[in-house]
Amino acid sequence: MIMETVSGLSELRKRAAEQFESQGYPTTRNEEWRFTNIAPIVKAQFPVAAPVVAGPSLKDALEADPELIEAHLGRYASTADNPFVALNTAQFEDGAFVQVPANTVLPEPIDIEFKALQGRTTHPRTLIVVGPNSQVQIIERYSGAGKYFTNAVTEIVVGENSIVEHIKLNEESREAFHVATIQARLGRNANFKQHNVTLGGALVRNDINAVLSTGSEGTVNGFYFANGKQHIDNHTAIDHAEAYAASHELYKGILDGHSTAVFNGKIYVRKDAQKTDAKQTNKNLVLSENASINTKPELQILADDVRCTHGATVGQLDQEALFYLQARGINKDEARNLLIYAFARDVIERMGVERIRQYLEKALFEVLTHKSFAESA
């Protein structure tokens, strides 16, 4: 275990283990997990193994500079509020570490890839620390084959006046379980964009959280595509902790087959966070009468000089638009696919890394042109 050599981190691991032992796995009696039954994960009981990491290793960084890691690791993602964060903190063996010094602009994105091991539980831990006045793009990808459980935690520190774009791609096996928490802390006047794309996994839960400081701007976007019997649960929480901050959120989902999804988006505006500007939108396209989505946008506002909006929609393909395309010589299947593609592309185009946009557009196009969503289940 990598943390046994560092007293401070060893204490963090011990405390997290005690918290998980006290809390146990969440059940559907817990409001935050009401629509997501994790009994299949508990029942699987896969042995724990270290993740296979392609990218800057956390284990190496811990050995080289333990004080730097200890100054940030476990300071942002709460082990008290989320049992899976506690479990990761207690048991992780490796992950990724990215440090961007102050006044640094990286011209190329940093790639981090985690490959799961069949029949195993892995706890990937990622720590990203970006100094003041810097700029970076980071791509975090998860994949694997067969049945396994990935329990990931990513902590992101965005320094003052820095610009950070983070893209998370879930391309897990259709038999896999995936639970992940991303916790970001924005410094003054920082700009942070997070894009969360979920394509794989049998049972998926994503918690995306950000705390905003004065003058900062946070963008949280997501796209999820579920079919067959997939279940995808996205929970987001944007905490306007200080004044003059702005947040923008757009989550879009496509559901087909017998799939189910959850979206729960929370915006907190604290008492002193005057001049907050926050907008949240969740849109869902349901292609099958057997698919369903539970969506719940929430606002908790304690300040009185704010501008906050939120909304959610659940609908089917626009029949008038479908008729319009068919009237111009496009057959029904092609017209249907064009409308689905346009719905998803709205989120994909917001990503700042061109090769990722192209990759996702091609992947979606191939699914739509070679077989229908229902047939790919």
In a domain, 350, yes or no: no
In a domain, 219, yes or no: yes
Convert the pLDDT of each residue in 113-137 to its tens digit. Answer: 999 999 999 999 999 999 999 999 9
Convert the pLDDT of each residue in 28-40 to its tens digit. Answer: 999 999 999 999 9
Residues 10 and 73 sit within 8 Å (Cβ to Cβ): no
pLDDT of 291 strictly over 70: yes
Q: Hunting for tokens 């009185």 — which residue is that? A: 304
In a domain, 78, yes or no: yes
Mean of the per-residue pLDDT values of the chain? 93
Convert the pLDDT of each residue in 40-75 to its tens digit. Answer: 999 999 999 999 999 899 999 999 999 999 999 999
In a domain, 376, yes or no: no
Predicted confidence band of residue 324 (pLDDT cuts 50, 70, 90): confident
In a domain, 161, yes or no: yes
Residues 13 and 3 sit within 8 Å (Cβ to Cβ): yes
pLDDT of 374 strictly over 50: no
Neighbours of 39 (CB within 10 A): 11
Residues 198 and 223 sit within 8 Å (Cβ to Cβ): yes
pLDDT the model gives residue 143: 96
In a domain, 362, yes or no: no
Please report the beta strands in the chain, taking only residues with DSSP state E, as ranges in sequence order: 52-54, 95-100, 110-115, 121-122, 125-130, 135-143, 149-158, 163-171, 177-186, 191-198, 203-212, 217-226, 231-240, 246-255, 260-269, 276-286, 292-301, 306-315
Predicted confidence band of residue 373 (pLDDT cuts 50, 70, 90): very low
pLDDT the model gives residue 336: 87
**307: CB partners within 8 A, 6+ apart:** 276, 277, 278
| Full domain range(s) for residue 24 | 2-317
User: Phi and psi at residue 85, in whole multiples of 5°?
Assistant: -65, -40
Convert the pLDDT of each residue in 139-148 to its tens digit. Answer: 999 999 999 9
Q: How, if at all, do strands 135-143 and 121-122 pair? A: unpaired
Q: Hunting for tokens 């893209």 — which residue is that? A: 167
Region 327-340: mean pLDDT is 87
Report helix, strand or coil for 93: coil
Predicted confidence band of residue 328 (pLDDT cuts 50, 70, 90): confident
Region 187-201: mean pLDDT is 97
| Rounded-to-integer distance, Cα 286 and Cα 314, Å | 7
Count of domains for the chain: 1
Helix (H) or strand (E) run with residue 332 in it: helix 332-348
Region 305-326: mean pLDDT is 91
In a domain, 175, yes or no: yes
Region 369-375: mean pLDDT is 48
Q: Which two tokens stand for residue 120?
A: 């195993």
Report the candidate in 265, 269, 271, 162 with the shortest Cα–Cα distance to residue 217: 162
Predicted confidence band of residue 4 (pLDDT cuts 50, 70, 90): very low
Higher-pLDDT residue of 369 and 88 is 88
Region 270-292: mean pLDDT is 96
Q: How, if at all, do strands 121-122 and 95-100 pair? A: unpaired
Q: What is the pTM of this model?
A: 0.94
Q: Which two tokens stand for residue 303?
A: 């300040």
In a domain, 70, yes or no: yes
